[in-house]
Structure 1
Amino acid sequence: MKYLFRLLLATLLLTAVQASAQSRLRIPAKGAECEKWVAGAFAKGKVPPFSFVCGGVPSGKTIADWKYTAETLPAAERNVTERVYTYTDPATGLAVECRVKTFADFNAMEWVLRFRNTSEGNTPKIEQVKVVDITPESTAKGAFLLHYADGSHVSKADFHARTRELAVGDVHSMHPQGGRSSSHAFPFFNVQLPTGGMVVAIGWTGNWKADIARPAANAVSVATGMKNLAAYLLPGEEIRTPSTAMLLWQGDDRMDGQNLLRRFLLAHHHPTADGKPAVFPICSSFNYGDPAPCNEYTCMTADYATALVKRYKQFGLLPQVFWLDAGWYSKAADWKNGYNWANTVGNWSVDSVRFPQGLGPVADEVHRAGCKFMVWFEPERVMKDSDWAVQHPEFMLDASGKAAQPGWVKRGSVDSFLFNLGDPVARTWFCEQIAKLIRDNRIDYYRQDFNIDPEGFWYANDQPDRVGICEIRYIEGLYAFWDYLRAEFPGLVIDNCASGGRRIDLESTSRSAPLWRTDYNYGEPIGYQCHTYGLNMWLPVHGTGTHKSDAFTFRSSLSATIIYNWKISNADSSIPEMQRRMAEFAAVRPYFYEDYYPLTGYGDMTGDDIWLAYQLLRPSDQTGYVVAFRRDLSTEEQKVVHFRGLEPEATYVLENADNDDRVEATGRQLMDGFTMSIGQPRSSLLIKYGKK
């Protein structure tokens, strides 16, 4: 695969900052040469580009003298070389393994640390672990910028683009809230120097931390790791840490780095299904949104669900996947006694009254229609009066840190247990239970929600001087569970929700995708435009729902995947309009996997009085789309935008999806400035373009 941006960071240097030792290493000009860089950075007798403190002593003072081994692993992935560097302290028996990957098709590298106790006694306390501890430098004049984003926090500003200029002495620290990796903070960022930059992606579906500082006029330091880790290891014990990927880019345009990341994720951190890159589906709900006391799908029945599938087929509205969300399990429909979908998790048996033969008959009807069947689960949060809590209290973590007590009948988030995925016995049982539900109910795709902050459970159950161990074991167990499902069901696709987009990171995107990226104000189109605009800068694959079929609302929800939450039984719904929107999305959808450019700036995009526009570009054939919105309070009928990535001398044809308007312009003219017109507020444009 050829890439538009060749990474020639001639002036970008990398310095491993380790206590009293420093080694300056030049970033290679080509991705294939990253192997040489790694060989130098992790050479025997050198201080490697990670750091930690063990027993109060910084690793940089001693690690160059530890026992050292290096091993190149057999190739497991095309264009990827993987090496394992191991450093063992002869005094304490602590072994540190750094597993490093380099990517010949990208100017990229990533690594993860593992600590192992090879002695017969406890190790000294390990703390201040920086999985990556490096300092990019530039001698060129210009600003040093940090580009980052909000995480999900139920706001129009979810995934909002942020930029901070770093002055000498500045330190910018980031970490999520509550233990979910993209809650309020986002584990992807782009450090821009005057001559290029480095995009960083952190893989840890828990409490990661990143510190970006400017220690000198010509340098920016980058450190990543866990937010809380201060623990000794038991004899024979081993732990892993967050992974971190780094991609280097050249030039003065941050979007070169952003698009490099999008391509990298698709090439090397995208899930597979049946041995091929997974295509995350176009979904339809089962007529989502019934009146009170119905809540989510607590009023759904087998007969109603199968009838709806037939109705979707009758009107030519079949999706790729039918999506059954929360409320299909025992007690969820018992609203008279105060139960609902949320306070009955842990009762993981199908409601036998509403679904007397399980969910299988619904799955069969879906399959007869030529579609797949996806079902919602939230197995990690377990209500204290639920079946799982009563049957296996020994598998539960309580936020008090005390042993789980079955039989508690209070309801609410504080009255939940957290299933202990860090316990291998509990996790095996957990895996088998979920696999049986998938198999028995003929479920094709698995949706996992997570509506609780796990941080308090983890830290309450850590032993003295073992802070972070419970979290590590839990996250290791989560990955083991997802990997088990993917091995057990090779065609399975995993939707990762977590209260709407609160578990997005490098490790989770390797196994899943957020098909419901935020819980912000279901169906409010302005916010949805903002979310697409911001999150597209980092991820190629994410989705949300659309509740109406008018062009403005529908286009506000565009992304690589979508959920049609239409009410096809309502008199005010238009079947032909829905059909037009589905055809429109089928045409636009492939371009969300290509390059992305915001066209209306990086500032505050949440106002109701502005335009918002973005461009999708397939570099290989120079085709794409522009999506534009004139919002409700905007007084501007016209907006000038500057296309990106076009061939200056080529002639392009632009077509309006809403009428027969066609114009021609050169790539240079479009990049110098193209005037778009929308006559009415709360209206949109969808423009297809391509070389003549």
Structure 2
Amino acid sequence: MADTPQNQAALALQMYLDTSASPLGSALQRAPMMNIGIDEGELATLPLVSEALTGSQRLRATHAQDLALTVDVEPDPARHALVWQMQMAQTGEQPGPRVHNFRPLHIALDGSLAPDLVIHTWRGGAQQSFFPPDAITPERHVLYPRTTAFYQDGTFTIGTHGGRSSDQYMPYMLITTADDSGGLWVALGWSGNWQARFVKPRGTSDLHLTIQIEPCDLRLPSGTTLQGPAMALGLYEGDAAVGYNALRSWLRSHMPALPSSDLSHFNTWTAMDANVDETRLLDAVEQVAGNGLHYFMLDAGWYPSPPNDFYSGVGNWRVDETKFPRGLEVVAERVRQRGMEMGLWFEPERAYHTTELATQHPEWLLRVPGREHALVNFALPDVRAYFRTFIADLVQRLGLRWLKWDFNIDPLPYWQQANDGGLAHLGHINGLWETFDWLRSTFPELTIENCASGGNRLDWALFSRAHVNFANDQYTNPDCIRRILGRMGTFLPTERLNMIYGPFQRREYDDAAWQVLEGSSFGVSEPIDNWTGQFRTSLRHHLALHRATDAYRSGHFYQLTPDTDDLCAWEGWQLHDPETGSGVLALWRSASPEEQVSLHVREIDETRSYRITDLYHQSGSQTVRGQQLIHGLTVGLARDAATLWTYHLVDGEENQ
């Protein structure tokens, strides 16, 4: 198709979205949905050329100093969503113009058409040891309610703390109408540092949202190509829970297919910390085998490092010959002989200052004075080539089927110390994405896990590149895990969240403790000397229940009880399969003084009957009308007890 000259209207959301899909659609003002400063001008003022591609549109612009910019826009009409991403390339022999104020998203909503809009955000994924945990706390804000901004702009800003995409706030947002009849969701696909600013400009009732990438004030060197953030925005009609599930469904549609549908695993971390060697691991394999777990995951400590100090060995990327005189091959082979697949942890983006990588390749590192760890600069092709060779050797030699990529350092201070206007920042993220893409295409049977001190890098650009994503480093307290996973499940695909559960403080687990894994994959990390006969029986029982409810994790998610600060309160989740109309209810009473709770179940046909089955007591089932599920199903439990119920549509049965 011939190129067609376009003006900046080609950057307007209305060109690609059906705004009638949401009550908020008509309030979207026509303006460029993204922009970037170029010298004294900006992208929106450059002549744009539009090129139709299969299922998408490409907008191209060229600056006089040989800077080529492309914006790929991909509508998703079925989900009323849109994705766009900009690429910059310096094609000339000299550095390009100054590139600055990188704003991959800007939207403005007319307050006269949609007043008092509600902003929904979530705190980030950092681990805490207290209840209620801050992690993934939902927040709601209304700027200058029921009035125009008066003395000054009304503002609210969220973003990262140390440069990992979800370390302070999750890179997902919802804006809803005041009557909760509809709205829009936003997902930021950027694995580095970002800031989102909500503004109600002085003298107006409008609401503006701008996302900015920092640091970014640079000149691209000759021959450099960089991808910017992948932005996504969707419209929906219904209450906020409908919006959360619209976001959840859209994220699911962009996740890579799993090499294996069974993600159950044992992880050595809580069970052994970094105190691993051949004898201990071979014994662990024998203890873990035969309980139905698919993967045996070796976490930190397999490389040269001091006992109980895995941090200072990060950068010694070879197998410790003292701990493993016959190499890791003997462990991997034993794992396979006992019916499991081998997995391995590593952390390529960080290096301790005395390790082999740091001393042999100091030019690969970004350093901050006074810090013992350096950031390994994935913007460098030599770094990416080194880790490709290293990973390929490990995967092939050990027959790995799971690779856990961790990142336990805040990168922002290192990017700031580089003082290069953001080249290291943007280049590092591009190199990270390229390596993940290479991993998936080169080793299609390898499950890739994304981790960053738990859930500190959960943007959708990595969700679309990793198969599973570690939820949070709080994996020993069931109350905190339950709250964190319940919050995450509202808007993130539950089946791709990973949790290793190992509350070694208690020797035996009860139903209420095991049941928290309904919000994630099934991971176990209990110390081996606690694997009693009773523990194994309980593990196998709950793993079977987890598999029996797998299908529901891939559907919709609803919180049935309020998010409260009270530890002694009921908590309930609903996981619903919209195709079959069936689902599961996971309930905990904790130590609540209330003996009963009334649940209002979502997406139920009030004219139909449903068979409810107690999975802990298969003999306990009843048939109820949908009307009762919608208007209040009464449930009673003993203190600190839990229950797991499934519901299925039935016909021709009388209520019991």
2:226 to 239, 242, 248: 239
| Counterpart Cα distance in 2 of 1:176 and 1:109 | 24
Counterpart of 1:185 in 2: which secondary structure? coil
| Correspondence for 2:529 | 569
| Correspondence for 1:417 | 374
| Correspondence for 1:284 | 266
Counterpart of 2:579 in 1: which secondary structure? coil
| Counterpart Cα distance in 2 of 1:396 and 1:651 | 63
| Counterpart Cα distance in 2 of 1:26 and 1:303 | 60
| Correspondence for 1:191 | 175
| Counterpart Cα distance in 1 of 2:551 and 2:330 | 33
Say whether residues 1:182 and 2:162 are aligned partners: no
Q: How does 1:313-332 map to 2 (within 5 A)?
A: 313=289, 316-330=290-304, 332=305
| Correspondence for 2:394 | 437
Counterpart of 2:168 in 1: which secondary structure? coil
1:270-299 Cα offsets, whole Å, 9 max, x none, are 12355xxx6461111349534xxxxx132x
Counterpart of 2:56 in 1: which secondary structure? strand
Say whether residues 1:586 and 2:541 are aligned partners: no
How much has 1:394 moved relative to structure 2?
2.0
The letter for the 2-side match of 1:117 is: Q
1:306 to 282, 292, 296: 282
| Counterpart Cα distance in 1 of 2:70 and 2:319 | 45
Counterpart of 2:544 in 1: which secondary structure? helix
Counterpart of 1:574 in 2: which secondary structure? helix
Q: TM-score, structure 1 length as denominator?
A: 0.83
| Correspondence for 1:9 | none
Say whether residues 1:209 and 2:164 are aligned partners: no
- 1:581/1:99 Cα in 2 relative to 1: closer, same or farther (>3 Å)? same
| Counterpart Cα distance in 1 of 2:210 and 2:646 | 42
| Counterpart Cα distance in 2 of 1:426 and 1:141 | 50
Counterpart of 2:271 in 1: which secondary structure? coil
Say whether residues 1:524 and 2:477 are aligned partners: yes
On the 8 A contact 1:152/1:158 being kept in 2, the answer is yes
On the 8 A contact 1:515/1:561 being kept in 2, the answer is no
Aligned residues: 615
How much has 1:434 moved relative to structure 2?
2.2
| Correspondence for 2:654 | none
2:319 to 328, 346, 350: 350
Counterpart of 2:601 in 1: which secondary structure? coil
- 1:238/1:579 Cα in 2 relative to 1: closer, same or farther (>3 Å)? closer
| Correspondence for 2:572 | 613
How much has 1:22 moved relative to structure 2?
9.0
| Counterpart Cα distance in 2 of 1:460 and 1:288 | 35
Q: How does 1:61-100 map to 2 (within 5 A)?
A: 62-63=45-46, 66=47, 68-73=48-53, 75=54, 81-90=55-64, 92-100=65-73
Q: How does 1:395-544 map to 2 (within 5 A)?
A: 395-400=364-369, 414-463=371-420, 467-513=421-467, 515-520=469-474, 522-540=475-493, 541-544=496-499
On the 8 A contact 2:136/2:484 being kept in 1, the answer is yes
1:562-604 Cα offsets, whole Å, 9 max, x none, are 2112345335853322221121111123211110011113x4x
2:141 to 164, 169, 173: 164
Which shows bigger deviation, 209-218 or 225-234? 209-218
How much has 1:499 moved relative to structure 2?
0.6
- 1:663/1:399 Cα in 2 relative to 1: closer, same or farther (>3 Å)? same
1:49 to 33, 52, 61: 33
| Correspondence for 2:3 | none
On the 8 A contact 1:513/1:542 being kept in 2, the answer is no
Structure 1 vs Structure 2 CA RMSD: 2.8
On the 8 A contact 2:551/2:577 being kept in 1, the answer is no
On the 8 A contact 2:17/2:77 being kept in 1, the answer is no
Counterpart of 1:374 in 2: which secondary structure? strand
Q: TM-score, structure 2 length as denominator?
A: 0.88
| Counterpart Cα distance in 1 of 2:189 and 2:638 | 45
In structure 2, list runs of 5 or more residues that go unmatched: 1-7, 503-507, 651-656
Which shows bigger deviation, 316-325 or 128-137? 128-137
The letter for the 2-side match of 1:623 is: S
| Correspondence for 2:653 | none
Counterpart of 2:512 in 1: which secondary structure? helix
How much has 1:461 moved relative to structure 2?
1.3
Say whether residues 1:549 and 2:509 are aligned partners: yes
Say whether residues 1:674 and 2:633 are aligned partners: yes
| Correspondence for 1:647 | 605
2:105 to 132, 144, 163: 132
Counterpart of 1:326 in 2: which secondary structure? coil
1:365 to 323, 326, 334: 334
| Counterpart Cα distance in 1 of 2:161 and 2:460 | 17
- 1:191/1:287 Cα in 2 relative to 1: closer, same or farther (>3 Å)? closer
1:199-254 Cα offsets, whole Å, 9 max, x none, are 11001110022222334866432222313211223344333221110111012x11
1:651-670 Cα offsets, whole Å, 9 max, x none, are 11212223333232221221
| Counterpart Cα distance in 2 of 1:138 and 1:320 | 53
On the 8 A contact 2:269/2:298 being kept in 1, the answer is no
Which shows bigger deviation, 181-190 or 362-371? 362-371
How much has 1:539 moved relative to structure 2?
1.1
| Counterpart Cα distance in 1 of 2:31 and 2:560 | 44
The letter for the 2-side match of 1:160 is: T
| Counterpart Cα distance in 2 of 1:157 and 1:444 | 34
| Counterpart Cα distance in 2 of 1:288 and 1:239 | 39
Which shows bigger deviation, 215-224 or 496-505? 215-224
On the 8 A contact 2:415/2:425 being kept in 1, the answer is yes
In structure 1, list runs of 5 or more residues that go unmatched: 1-15, 32-36, 76-80, 291-295, 401-412
